[in-house]
Amino acid sequence: MKNKWFGAAVRIYEIWSAALFVIFLVMAGHRRIVFCIWQISNILAILLLVLNIAILFQKKRRILKANEELGLFKKRLESEK
């Protein structure tokens, strides 16, 4: 099962990491601001990870429910024969 959301999140994080590196280089004298930006970056990365995990569990739940319904449908067809 391919997860496009995870690939998109990884790409966003790669771009943000590159931008963050440039910000670190430009604002080397402002340590407090850079630290706050770094913390915000970590929070965003964690939120993206939680979002991806939630999406994966939702897909898994949907697949399990569909398999269960398919099993019940097969049993009903066999009982009708």
Report which residue type is found at 68.
E
Longest dimension (CA), the chain: 79
Contact at 8 Å (CB) between 41 and 16? yes
Record the tokens describing residue 29, joined without a space.
């004298």
pTM, whole model, 2 decimals?
0.56
Record the tokens describing residue 56, joined without a space.
């994966």
pLDDT band at 1 (very low <50, low <70, confident <90, very high): very low
pLDDT digits (tens, 9 = 90+) for 22-77: 877 787 788 788 788 878 888 888 888 888 888 888 888 888 888 888 888 888 88
